[in-house]
Amino acid sequence: MFGKLSYKQYKDLQKHKIAGRVELFNGIQKIDERMGSTDVCSLYPYVMSVLNCYYPCGNIIEVDEYKGDDEIGFYYCDIDQSNLKAKNLPKIYAKKSEIENDWDSEEVLKDYLISNVIIGLLIKNGCKVVIKKGFIFERKLKSCEMFAFLLDMMKAKNGQDTFKTENDPRYNSALRETLKLLMNSLSGKVIEGLHTEQTRDFDSIQEYQEIVMKAKSVNFINNIGNKLFITYEVDEEELCETKQRPIFLGVLIYDYAKRYMYENSYSKIGLKDLVYTDTDASKFRYSAMEGWTKWINENNIQVPHWKEVEEKDPRYKNHLIYQSDSKVFGSFEDELEELQGHHYKFYCVEKKSWSYVVMNEDDTYKHSKFKFKGINGKAIMMNLDEPFLQIKRTTTREGISTYRHILKDDCELEVYTYCERNKHLAIENGNIGRFFDNLFEKREAYVITNSFRKIVKNSARSVDMGDEEKYNDLLNCIQVNYSLKKITLKN
């Protein structure tokens, strides 16, 4: 049983939460040396059911002062992390805005509603924390009790991994992937916000009118046969009273995950050698790997867990936190370990955008991996002399002229034909190193991407019954869209 948050507590918790941590620790970089990338196996399922931590339940109790590390709770705090850089440590908590988490900010964070998990981590690392009022919970449960069902899923997934390693015919890739996706999706569902936009179908005008009277706004979607489909906005505060999820569980899942990464990866590698993180993986200069593994081996750092979990996976009895080719939940493995060659290039461009290229002695490409937000490997590199491109001039209010390339009107067939004939120019077809080298040299690049688009809603808002002229003519259609994208490398 879970208590309910007040509307203010709910809004502040959503406002100040940080889920996955994606950060360029030292800005945009091109590094000509080998890299390490330590990835935690099933980080979220691990902190939910294996890590020796607690989750709250029972009624919510408002308090005027900090009740200590043993009481699970959330408090409004002022946070000063200015001491960390001198200790070669990255920030612990980011400055929040409506569009991003700013990990570079040096500001003191004011009145952030954070958990005792983060408060404890800040204090442990010498940060100044002013703790104010907050709320705690009546009871708490071990993680392996709160999310006990995950342990059976973990056991089944581990069994599939064993079957795969041993080439056992019982290996079922679809089952393994399903188990993995189910476990990883739970943290997101727990912290899911209120859906103020509702969708319903109606058989009668009377039902429609009843909703219109109560809704904040209405947008007609579609009319199929005798069914009317609409979306409408409801009052968020009223919805919070009846439909809120226990988002404090989700916040704690993410906080335990962030603490686990900070204590076992970021703080041990050090800010100077850290390059990039994407929630459960740390990318850093390989020269720091020796010191990290030495700390693990000399101190016998094992994967933290509840004793009860050993019944599901006996490996936890003596499993180190880093072991090669390990698939134990909560353990680290180097995902770049096998990518060895003569030369190395690592490009760190922006959040969710990086590349690792391994070269042979004759400077031919041997291995490569890359990720680029908004662009997949099938994106085709542009030389900017293609016949379907034109230059558009834009003048700012200050009178400054800027120029950019755009697609000409009515060039769909020409673009489609070009892309079909030039698939060899796709980034994934041996062009990863070339693409990133050009991006670093010219500071910008153009590519053509394609995507499927399913159209089921009107783009116009507040389209009422009888406004057929406002309906989207492409309703219930699927399109293939080609887009020209300009990538600019920030300074």
Domains of the chain, residue spans: 7-144+246-334, 197-234, 367-488
Q: Which pLDDT score, from 0 to 100, does residue 338 have?
A: 75
Q: Which pLDDT score, from 0 to 100, does residue 198 have?
A: 83
Return left, alpha or beta for 168; rule: phi > 0 is left, psi -120 to 50 is alpha, else beta: beta
The answer, yes or no, to whether residue 480 has pLDDT greater than 80, is: no
Q: Which of 283, 285, 360 is nearest to 32 (CA)?
A: 285
pLDDT band, very low/low/confident/very high, at 462 (cuts 50, 70, 90): low
Which residue type does 344 have? Y
Q: Which pLDDT score, from 0 to 100, does residue 53 have?
A: 97
Q: What percent of the chain has pLDDT over 70?
A: 93
Look at the block and give the residue holding tokens 């909560």: 330
Quote the mean pLDDT of the chain.
Answer: 89
Q: Which pLDDT score, from 0 to 100, does residue 463 have?
A: 66
Could you read off the pLDDT of 168-212 as tens digits, one per residue? 999 999 999 999 999 999 988 888 888 888 888 877 777 777 887
Residue 460 near residue 422 (C-beta atoms within 8 A): no
Q: Find the distance separating the first CA and the last CA of the chain, reported in whole Å.
A: 51
Q: Which of 101, 81, 104 is nearest to 28 (CA)?
A: 104
> How many angstroms separate the CA atoms of 376 and 483, rounded?
13
pTM strictly above 0.75 = yes
Bigger pLDDT: 326 vs 221: 326
* Tokens representing residue 36 in the block: 């390490």
Q: What is the mean pLDDT of residues 292-298?
A: 94
Q: Which of 152-161, 239-248, 360-369, 408-417 is predicted with the least confidence, judged by mean pLDDT?
A: 360-369
Contacts 24+ apart (CB under 8 A), 251-254: 251/13, 251/17, 251/74, 251/115, 251/191, 252/55, 252/56, 252/72, 252/115, 252/117, 253/44, 253/47, 253/48, 253/187, 253/190, 253/191, 254/17, 254/18, 254/19, 254/20, 254/187, 254/191
Q: Which of 274, 324, 279, 318 is nearest to 46 (CA)?
A: 279
Q: How many CB atoms lie within 10 A of CB 299?
A: 10
Using CA atoms, how far residue 121 sits from 69, 81, 274, 303, in Å, is 10, 11, 19, 19
Q: What percent of the chain has pLDDT over 90?
A: 53
Concatenating the DSSP letter of every residue in 412-481 gives HHHHHHHHHHTGGGBTTTT-HHHHHHHHHHHSEEEEEEEEEEEE-S-SSSSPPTT-GGGS-TTTTEEEEE
